[in-house]
Amino acid sequence: MVLLNLVLKLAWAGVNELAGDEPFTVYWAQRPLAELSSMLRTENNPPLYFLIMHGWSTLVPLEPTWLRIPSVLFSALTVWPLYLLGKRMGGTSVAVTAVLLFTFSQHSYAFAHEVRAYSLLTLGCTWAVWQLVRLADDPDRHPAIRSASIIWLVLANVLATWAHYFGWLMVGLELILVFAVPMLRSVRVKMLAAAGITALCSVPLLGILLARAGSSLGQGTWLKAPGIEEPYNMIMRWANAPVVAVVFLILVTYGLTRVRSRSSGLAIPLLWSALPLVGMFLISFLFPIYLDRYLLFASIGFYLLVAGSAGSLPGGERVHWMMSAACIIAMAVTFNPWKGNDLHPSKVVAQVEAWRDGHTAVIIQPAWYDLTYAWALDPKLYTGVAPVELALRERFVIPVPGAQMPVLDSTITSVVHVDAWSSLTDPEYLVLNSLRSRYVQVDSVEAERKVHLRLFRKR
């Protein structure tokens, strides 16, 4: 099953252009370690994935498919602890069903193709829950084996927390599990010890974590408070389609009414999926963090919950397999791995180059879109000695970090404004209004989804 998952995810790994946050990861993975270390002191993510990509990108061509292979591998490897969890909680049918639901998940598939840490985080979280359950199965085993299980649990938690700071949500969830689920109560002390050791392993990151959390809490995030429908929308993403989501929710509701609410077979996946789904939703009214990528780790619990609910139906093993097959087919027929994400930075660059005439300046807002633009313009800019911002300025491409209109040379005869969500850093559109006051706008186009280009000529 790991092989099936891997083959599917490798097959269309290059269907999308490098876009979104991917260029940020790729660019910094190319920089010398001294520069990378300096950047990580102010970065919102831990260093592990950046370091992995720093090593990996020196071995392979600088192409999207090759750069996405680590994320693909981490996602495919998640199948193994997921299968073991499913088998421990409900038998082979539950294990196979959970794995195939995950394999045919469009949501998980998309993040397996991002040069970001989310698939690594999901692997760490799934491995950690498996090790926690395994630790509870250890009482009759040799002391050396019990000690090894604690070490593996710590390693899984370190992997999750060093992949993404939201890994700490999983550590917190594990602490809740050992107090809420009867089969895990015997390992409460061991889980507390594992959490403490994990915290000690994260001491080097503590200062950065507190600084970034303080900055985010003080200044807010770019997200808005979610609408009341967002938890359902999240489940719909996990289930590929609205009809499938409704069927899964009905199945889960029925399954929960048939078994004891604290039964380990459904309790662990229920808490794993529902607590982040609802808890992060409520927190987001004060501090918006409700985003599908941040809840990817909780989707694994949902697939286990659906599989376990299918396995709880009356009628015996044959009925369980039939319902499981129906769930798998529903996910498979709504699974479109060849479908792109509609992000095409190359179209932005192509349009800008088509508009260039004489001395043309290109102004980019927000400034961080410069890495996406640079990659689409020329990937070799990532491997140059000079930082990408300097390399772009040599080509009259100017990233604008805030709302301050840059000083333009008097020889500039035209300006292209690349608006990739400029309102985020320039809510009053000061730069755009300044351009309109100095130049004549002669053309505009939405070159790709949510990226607007405007062409200005000298009066």
Per residue in 49-87, pLDDT (tens digit) is: 999 999 999 999 999 999 999 999 999 999 999 999 999
- Mean pLDDT value across residues 191-212: 88
pLDDT band at 139 (very low <50, low <70, confident <90, very high): low
Instruction: Provide the β-strand partners of residue 418.
Output: 364, 453
CA 402 to the chain's CA centroid: 26
Picking from 210, 240, 259, 281, the residue whose alpha carbon sits closest to that of residue 94 is 259
Q: Is the pLDDT reported for residue 209 higher than 90?
A: no
Instruction: Report the alpha-carbon distance of residue 249 to residue 236 in Å, rounded.
Output: 10
- Mean pLDDT value across residues 30-52: 92
- Mean pLDDT value across residues 364-371: 96
Task: Dig out the tokens for 410 from the structure.
Answer: 């008097």
SS3 199: helix
Residue 84 contacts by C-beta under 8 Å, 6 or more apart in sequence?
Answer: 95, 130
Q: Is the pLDDT reported for residue 145 higher than 70?
A: no
Contact indicator for 266, 259 with CB cutoff of 8 Å = yes
Helix, strand and coil content of the chain, in percent to the nearest 5, comes to 65, 5, 30
Q: Is the pLDDT reported for residue 307 higher than 80?
A: yes
For residue 215, the model assigns a pLDDT of 64
Q: What percent of the chain has pLDDT over 70?
A: 95
Instruction: Provide the β-strand partners of residue 440.
Output: 457
Contact indicator for 382, 27 with CB cutoff of 8 Å = yes
Instruction: Report the alpha-carbon distance of residue 392 to residue 399 in Å, rounded.
Output: 9
pLDDT band at 445 (very low <50, low <70, confident <90, very high): very high
Q: Is the pLDDT reported for residue 262 higher than 70?
A: no
pLDDT band at 333 (very low <50, low <70, confident <90, very high): very high
Residue 230 contacts by C-beta under 8 Å, 6 or more apart in sequence?
Answer: 281, 290
Lowest-pLDDT choice from 3-12, 213-222, 303-312, 411-420 = 213-222
Q: Report the relative pairing of strands 439-448 and 451-458 from DSSP bridges.
A: antiparallel
For residue 270, the model assigns a pLDDT of 96
Compute the mean pLDDT over every residue in the chain, rounded to the nearest whole number. 92
Q: Is the pLDDT reported for residue 118 higher than 90?
A: yes
For residue 315, the model assigns a pLDDT of 78
For residue 144, the model assigns a pLDDT of 55
Q: Is the pLDDT reported for residue 383 higher than 70?
A: yes
Instruction: Report the alpha-carbon distance of residue 163 to residue 126 in Å, rounded.
Output: 13
Place of tokens 């061509």: 61
Q: What is the DSSP letter of 61?
A: -
For residue 410, the model assigns a pLDDT of 84
Instruction: Report the alpha-carbon distance of residue 263 to residue 186 in Å, rounded.
Output: 15
Query: What angle is formed at CA 250 by the lines to CA 246 and CA 256, rounded to 5 degrees?
Result: 140
pLDDT band at 428 (very low <50, low <70, confident <90, very high): very high
Q: Is the pLDDT reported for residue 305 higher than 90?
A: yes
Residue 435 contacts by C-beta under 8 Å, 6 or more apart in sequence?
Answer: 363, 405, 415, 417, 441, 454, 456
- Mean pLDDT value across residues 232-252: 97
Segment (H or E) for 397: strand 397-399
Q: Is the pLDDT reported for residue 160 higher than 80?
A: yes
For residue 260, the model assigns a pLDDT of 63
Q: What percent of the chain has pLDDT over 90?
A: 77
Segment (H or E) for 444: strand 439-448
pLDDT band at 216 (very low <50, low <70, confident <90, very high): low
Instruction: Report the alpha-carbon distance of residue 304 to residue 445 in Å, rounded.
Output: 45
pLDDT band at 214 (very low <50, low <70, confident <90, very high): low
pLDDT band at 265 (very low <50, low <70, confident <90, very high): confident
For residue 282, the model assigns a pLDDT of 95
Q: What is the DSSP letter of 362?
A: E
Domain ranges of the chain: 2-333, 345-458
Task: Dig out the tokens for 394 from the structure.
Answer: 């040599």
Q: Is the pLDDT reported for residue 212 higher than 80?
A: no
